[in-house]
Chain A
Amino acid sequence: MKEVTLTVDGKKITVPAGTLLIDACEQNGIYIPRFCYHKHLFPSGNCRMCLVTIEKNPKPQPSCMTPVADGMVVHTNTPEVAEIRKAVLEFILINHPLDCPICDKAGECMLQDQYMEFSGDKSRFNETKVAKEKLYHFGEKIVYDAERCILCSRCVRITREVSKTNKLGILERGDRSYVALAHGDTLDDDPYAYCVTDNCPVGALTPTYFRFKERVWYLHKTPSVCAGCSRGCNIWIETKDNVIYRVRPRENDAVNKSWMCDFGREYYIYPPKNRAAGVKINHRAVDYGKFVSEVASLLKEHTKETAFVLSAYATNEELTLAKQLTEHLGIKGIFHKKDRVWQESTGEIREDDILIKEDKTPNMAGVKNAFPDAKDINDMVISDFKYAVVWGPGAPLDKVSGLELIVISAMVDQVWDKAKYNLAGRISAEKHGSFTNFEGITQDFRRAIKGENNYDELTFFVDLLKELGVKPIGRTVQEIQNAK
């Protein structure tokens, strides 16, 4: 691609032709303030916060709408630009209600941050502010506050370009403008509706699930990977006191850009009721060490009659240890299953061409990488086996009902109830590890919350291998990743 060279603040930078000036500056370490511009949306150029002066140009230009040109000389830190930014902020703040104390965005608000950085002026506005609708429900998911809105049109562009539902639009003119839906419409059936709240630069659009729950500066962010489907969207899990308060997409151009679907968020925010707990033999709670030794002796004795059913929720590191275990024992009957399949009754979308994939498990590709010979559980011949290690929920009951079961699962289902040996596992928010998504991209994630009365599968496999007298490949995620 053709490259152009331009000068920004006396620094020569070289970028591909066609890059927007705001991107070219950011790639070279010069941040230009912005409200309406978003990296993954088509530029709109309406907030005017990114105005810069270009030599030989009579007026300041919005850098989010200006492609770079050869020999351009740009200034972003002159007194003139500072004056422009102050004036733009003063204009935006004329009708802004300044109700930061009750605004959920306070603390991560772009308007707050940029006012503190670029203006800091006191208000000169003595007239009455324009009163607008303060509580406008865009359906059950999202609340809109028209007074706080700075009309950057990011939300409008998200519904047009990302979710392609075209639900939002800006009505009226001048200081009476507001974002609105068509009459009687809601955002509830838009599968990417919460993205408008993440990308709202102010607190105009807030999700109802997080409304007034916690102030954002108390939340602890953990990088994680969504386990809702095989796309593997990068997410931040935001927690306080071991409770997940909010889930937001983490930017990754290769996987999910800045977006994630609402089902993925609800997967974390509304924890499932049927979580498994404890370690049991014959439905009676036992000591964990006793469980490990009994399972180890059972597997050792009945190696040939044992089926090993893998979980597509397992991390790559757990699968490495499971592979070591099955290779050591010589278990031949290895099967994989779909832990979660799409059900129409939940209202979830089966597949779309944006992010949502049909495979609703996060690590099917990792299972197939680690165990290339594993067969589908539906091809299992039940008469070959007497025992089965069932890992993860969602095993078909007719395939395992006659067997003596060892179930390691985070969820209670019919197979869990039928089992002789039960060990409660962890969901992906409760453990370290990595998932491989359907494109073959392996992504690490870290533990966000502590599990309650359940056991890390990784530790269980380490203990099982030790009980069998084998040195495990590694005892932690880091050791296993380094050993690979």
Chain B
Amino acid sequence: MAYQIPNFPDMEYVDRKKRGLTIQVYYREIFRGVWITTKHFFRNLWKWLTFRKGGVVILYPEETRADMSPNNRGRHILVQRSNGQPRCVACKMCATICPAQCITIEAEESEDPKIQKRPQVFEIDLSHCIFCGFCVEACPVDAIRMLPETSELVGYDRFRMVYDKEKLLSWHPTVSDDVVHGYNPNA
């Protein structure tokens, strides 16, 4: 009569191969890496001394790159409605598809009964983000975008790389009231 719950056996998930002696002794690879960086350092130094092209990097932040592709996926922005509220409906599609799991969303009830759901917390941890753009593709209401204009990714520490809802809405304000998926019951 008792409902028996099956026991799950402990499984070995990782198939680890035995390493050979040449891989265990890794000093050879370290010196090879050091040699590559040293080689590039002296090559660039020589270019700079002889006033050749490509010798020096851009002097950031006074100079920025001009050759940014129009398809470049920069940092995220949240699109606003014309009343300043986020377009986001907190469906968590972006958080679900995110391979780095860097999006945190908590939903709440909206005052507008047509919208119903809106984000209370919307955070992107840009230090975890891999800029794959899946969140933009997954969004059903065109609420999250990645623009080439906002490509810079700098911060003093990793805690300041967590962008909250207010920052994502306001630091490159974009307003759109287009109906995306064609559902508008009171139109």
**Residues of chain B lying within 8 A (CB to CB) of residue A134:** 113-114, 116, 185
8 Å CB contact of B2 from A99, A100, A434 = A434
Report the minimum CB–CB distance from B185 to chain A (whole Å). 4
| Bound Cα distance A234, B2 (Å) | 11
Closest B residue to A98 by beta carbon equals B183
Size of the A side of the interface (Cβ < 8 Å), in residues, is 28
Report the minimum CB–CB distance from B23 to chain A (whole Å). 39
Majority SS at the chain A contact face: loop
Report the minimum CB–CB distance from B142 to chain A (whole Å). 12
Q: Is B129 an interface residue (CB 8 A)?
A: no
Contact B7 A211 (CB under 8 A): no
Report the minimum CB–CB distance from A215 to chain B (whole Å). 5
Instruction: Using known A-B contacts A102-B89, A212-B107, A217-B96, determine if residue A131 contacts B185 with beta carbons closer than 8 Å.
Output: yes
Q: Is A442 an interface residue (CB 8 A)?
A: yes
- Interface membership of chain B positions 139-151, coded 1 if the CB is closer than 8 angstroms to chain A and 0 otherwise: 0110000000000
Q: Is A459 an interface residue (CB 8 A)?
A: no
Q: Is B66 an interface residue (CB 8 A)?
A: no
**Residues of chain B lying within 8 A (CB to CB) of residue A305:** none
Report the minimum CB–CB distance from A148 to chain B (whole Å). 11
**Residues of chain A lying within 8 A (CB to CB) of residue B98:** none
Q: Is A223 an interface residue (CB 8 A)?
A: yes
Q: Interface extent on B, as a size class?
A: 20 to 34
Q: Is B187 an interface residue (CB 8 A)?
A: yes
Query: Which chain B residues (1-55) contact chain A, with CB distance < 8 Å?
Result: 1-5, 7
| Bound Cα distance A215, B93 (Å) | 10
**Residues of chain A lying within 8 A (CB to CB) of residue B141:** 101
Contact A102 B117 (CB under 8 A): yes
Q: Is A67 an interface residue (CB 8 A)?
A: no
| Bound Cα distance A127, B156 (Å) | 54
Contact A102 B181 (CB under 8 A): no
| Bound Cα distance A478, B5 (Å) | 11
Closest B residue to A234 by beta carbon equals B3
Contact A99 B183 (CB under 8 A): yes
Report the minimum CB–CB distance from B135 to chain A (whole Å). 14
Query: Which chain B residues (124-174) contact chain A, with CB distance < 8 Å?
Result: 140-141
- Interface membership of chain B positions 110-122, coded 1 if the CB is closer than 8 angstroms to chain A and 0 otherwise: 0001101100000
Contact A211 B5 (CB under 8 A): no
- Interface membership of chain A positions 125-144, coded 1 if the CB is closer than 8 angstroms to chain B and 0 otherwise: 00011010011000000000
Contact B140 A101 (CB under 8 A): yes
Query: Which chain A residues (190-240) contact chain B, with CB distance < 8 Å?
Result: 211-213, 215, 217, 223, 234
Q: Is B102 an interface residue (CB 8 A)?
A: no
Q: Is A289 an interface residue (CB 8 A)?
A: no
**Residues of chain B lying within 8 A (CB to CB) of residue A444:** 2-5
| Bound Cα distance A312, B86 (Å) | 52
Contact A442 B109 (CB under 8 A): no
Q: Is A381 an interface residue (CB 8 A)?
A: no
Contact B93 A135 (CB under 8 A): no
Closest B residue to A250 by beta carbon equals B3
Q: Is B108 an interface residue (CB 8 A)?
A: yes
Q: Is A254 an interface residue (CB 8 A)?
A: yes
Query: Which chain A residues (144-177) contact chain B, with CB distance < 8 Å?
Result: 147
Q: Is A446 an interface residue (CB 8 A)?
A: yes
8 Å CB contact of A441 from B2, B89, B107, B181 = B2
- List residues of A whose CB falls within 8 A of some B CB: 97-102, 128-129, 131, 134-135, 147, 211-213, 215, 217, 223, 234, 252, 254, 434, 441-444, 446, 478
20 contacts between A and B (CB under 8 A): A97-B183, A98-B181, A100-B91, A101-B89, A101-B91, A101-B93, A102-B89, A134-B113, A134-B116, A134-B185, A135-B113, A211-B109, A212-B107, A215-B92, A252-B3, A434-B2, A442-B1, A442-B2, A443-B2, A444-B4
List 4 A-B pairs, minimum CB-CB distance, nearest first: A101-B91, A131-B185, A212-B107, A102-B117
